[in-house]
Structure formats: structure tokens, C-alpha cells
Structure 1
Amino acid sequence: MQLARQRGGSAVIPLTPLVDVMLILLVFFMVTSTYLDLRMIPTGPGGEAESAGAASTGAGAGAAPVTLLLRLDGSGAVVHRGRALSAGELESQLASAGRVLILPSGTATAQDLVGLLEAVTGAGVADVRIVRLEARP
């Protein structure tokens, strides 16, 4: 007696779970990624367009804007060239600045950083950047 062998149909692999897994991975990597270039984040009142316009209309037609480096220490004091600035001194320094770089210390609070950002943008500086020093391996 011969038994007839049943031919199985081709196995169908459903793609719906694969698409679901890929979507979850995409969302996961988007959420956990970090900003590598802080210039992508507009910190001025008008973003990049106003920043470019402010740089071109600076002290002169061909003059580069004055760059001011401010360090924010752990106590909330703003330090410029090794000297802590009072609120009045900070305003006078910001009046002539075209670009401001802020270097917060590791112990500075986020509230102090936001307060300094408000003071800088309130003074009309459009090009504001926060810099971070990374440890070398």
C-alpha cells in the first residue's frame, strides 16, 4: 500500500510583526539619540536667519562680530576673563557682543543657565551658543 504524500503549501511569513518591530526600533533610536551639533538648536529669539542678519550688520560691513565667552560657575556667578561680573557689567558687555559663548561648569544649575540665557537674549544678542568640554580619553 502506498500512502499519498501531501504536498504542503509554501509557508507564508507574515510581514506585519516585522514592520511593527522596525517601527519600534526607529522610535527608540530617535528618542535616545543626542544632539551632536548644538548649532542645530536655535537659541536666539529669531533663530538662524536673524543670527546671520545680525552678524552681517555688526560693527561694520566687513567687521567680524565681537565674541564674548562667559563661564557660569557652580554658584551662579557669570565669569568673564577670570572676573565675576555684576548684573550691570554683564549688560554693558552684552551691549557690544555679536556672539556669546556660554560655558557652564559641571556644578551649575539649569535654572542659572536659563537665567543667563534670558539675560543674553534680552540684551538683543541673536547668536548664542552653549559649549561643553568633553574629557579626552
Structure 2
Amino acid sequence: MIQEPGATLLKRPQPPRALISLVPMIDVMLILLVFFMVTSTYLNLDMIPAVERSDEATRPTESTSNAPGGTLMIRIGADGVPTALGQGYDLPSLEALFLQRMQATPNLRVLVLPSGAADMQALVSVMDTATRSGVVNLSVVRLEVAE
């Protein structure tokens, strides 16, 4: 190409290369992280079966009775009946269960899980029964429902 001496050449500047930005992707990932953290449940104790077990399963074995400590979970239903090992108990039989388990396992840990619809008096009665039986390691577990 031959240029004339008085002519000027106009060149268009090349557009800058498009950079891929990671900022929008990071924003979306943080939003998803917060969403899944808020909507997930961390503790679901309803998955523990509360059904009647056979007599062989409820008998303590020698390995559990010789253990330094054990755990007994008492669930209080909406009707106020305490349930342990898949069986409902009235207060005198619950006290007998505590005494039996305390003889086998002196460092017995009792977890009381009241239902959200359970009466407060039922919880206090179970706690009093455990105290009369000599239980010193008692915890009340409270489940919160996500709304």
C-alpha cells in the first residue's frame, strides 16, 4: 500500500481483552452458603426410634453394666407420659428403672427430651423422680423448631 505524503492513517484502537471476573461467582456462592446454613437442621433427635423393643434388646449386657458411665434418654410426649427404651412409664415404675440403672451404672447420665407440647409439670415430675432415685447427672435437651 502506497501512502500519499499528506494523508494520515486512522487506526482504531484495539478493544481491551475481556477479563473474567470472579466477584459475581463469589457473591453467588456466599448467598448459597448462607441460604443452606439457614435452611438446614443441625439436630434432629426425632430420628431416634421410640418403638417397643424386644426383651433381649432391653436387657443390659455385661459390657454396658461394667462401663464407667451410661446414658439413659427419657422422652416426654405431648400427653406427658415419659418414654424410655421404647416403653411408656408411670412415675413409680420410672423411679424403679432409675434405681435399677443406677445399680448397674453408678455414673448414669440421664437426658430428658420434652416434646414442645409437653406440660411443664410432666418435666418437673420426671426431674423430681430422677432426683429421688439418686441421679446426679441430669440434662434437659430442648429442641427448637425452625419456622
Q: TM-score, normalised by structure 2?
A: 0.46
Higher RCO (CA < 8 A, seq sep 6+)? 1
Structure of greater Rg: 2
Q: TM-score, normalised by structure 1?
A: 0.50
